[in-house]
Amino acid sequence: AGLLAAGAMLLAAMPAEVYADNPIVQTLYTTDPAPVVIGDRVYVFTGHDEDGASYYDMRDWRCYSSGDMVNWTDHGCPLSLKTFSWAKSDAWAGQVVERNGKYYYYVPVIANQGGNSIGVAVADKPEGPYKDALGHPLCQDYGYIDPTVFIDNDGQAYLYWGNPQLTYCKLNDDMISIKGSIQKVNQDAASFGYYKDRASSYEEGPWFYRRGNLYYMLYSAGGIPEHIAYSTSSSPTGPWKYRGVIMPTEGRSFTNHCGVVDFKGHSYFFYHNGALPGGSGFARSVAVEEFCYNPDGSFPTIKMTDN
């Protein structure tokens, strides 16, 4: 594997003082980070904006890992549109989860015949290569993008996704079939906030996980430009309660997209912006900030690095 694809990130001894050489990948434009801890490393799966694009031009996904949040290994391209014979474009925001020694990668794409679709690919190693697990979409409908996956303590896996309608299903233990029916989430203001003239601030990019007995739904919010907000629930399927803004709108990308992970006793918030030279809403870069949860489990406000 290539060594140090990304800029070095220096973590200071004092937890409050973090000096990050963001963006963490400085060799190409990366988007939509999905971090996951596997063994003693954190892997970050990303999208990839092609150079020189004036609209979304995204054909493959990328994988990076680190054992210390300082030195990053570039694992290259674990998955691309070519993995799915039935897909033609829009390799957007995906996420990987491990189950029983296999790695499942859920991604949104546009099918050859048109239509937002979620595909699932499987590999024996986190960095792939991944193979299409089904030979067809797991599910398909208007706005079916940005899947986030989480396996609860009782072994039940959940998949959430959607723009502008947050939607979810349970997965069977095989991780490649849907258990029961697909459900739409209630998105009133008490659940997902109110922003300007929008009925709900929820837009896209959900990131679903559990911490203690609290379930978190982080998401891109507020339309264009986006900020990151969150809601919590005592149940994996809601009802959700709006908890506020985590990362305000900033930077040169009109989208943002987050992923959160705890790694070696620290909490990290991954996101994207347009901070590399030439950066824009279609030339984005993944960055990370260390943070501490407040004692009640709420998030602090996190400021992005946009230098």
Name residue, tokens 């279609």: 282
- Nearer Cβ to ligand FUB (18/283): 283
> Helical H runs in the chain?
189-192
- Nearer Cβ to ligand FUB (70/302): 302
Nearest-approach distance from CB 284 to ligand FUB, in angstroms: 7
Q: How many Å apart are CA 185 and CA 207, to the nearest integer? A: 14
Nearest-approach distance from CB 177 to ligand FUB, in angstroms: 24
Q: How many Å apart are CA 307 and CA 304, to the nearest integer? A: 9
> How many C-beta atoms surround the C-beta of residue 251 within 10 A?
21
- Nearer Cβ to ligand FUB (175/228): 228
Catalytic entry in 74, 127, 204, 289: 204
Residue nearest to ligand FUB (CB): 92
Task: Judge contact between 289 and 18, C-beta under 8 A.
Answer: yes
Nearest-approach distance from CB 163 to ligand FUB, in angstroms: 7
- Nearer Cβ to ligand FUB (47/222): 47
288-293: Cβ within 8 A, 24+ apart: 288/9, 288/20, 288/22, 288/24, 288/33, 288/69, 289/18, 289/20, 289/22, 290/11, 290/15, 290/18, 290/20, 290/69, 290/266, 291/267, 292/15, 292/267, 293/211, 293/267
Per-residue tokens: 151: 């396996």
Q: Is residue 204 flagged as an active site residue?
A: yes
Residues that bind ligand FUB (CB under 6 A): 31-32, 47, 56, 92-93, 145-146, 204-205, 220, 255, 257
Nearest-approach distance from CB 117 to ligand FUB, in angstroms: 13
Task: Judge contact between 33 and 96, C-beta under 8 A.
Answer: no
Nearest-approach distance from CB 173 to ligand FUB, in angstroms: 27
Residue partners of 62: CB distance under 8 A and separation at least 6 = 25, 28, 30, 45, 46, 47, 48, 74, 75, 76, 77, 78
- Nearer Cβ to ligand FUB (46/191): 46
3-state secondary structure of 170: strand
- Nearer Cβ to ligand FUB (47/193): 47
Name residue, tokens 């679903």: 208
Nearest-approach distance from CB 71 to ligand FUB, in angstroms: 26
Q: How many Å apart are CA 21 and CA 254, to the nearest integer? A: 22
Give how far Cα 106 sits from Cα of 32, 38, 91, 188, Å.
Answer: 13, 17, 11, 27
Nearest-approach distance from CB 281 to ligand FUB, in angstroms: 8
- Nearer Cβ to ligand FUB (6/221): 221
Name residue, tokens 């003239």: 197
Q: Is residue 127 flagged as an active site residue?
A: no
The residues assigned a catalytic role are: 32, 204
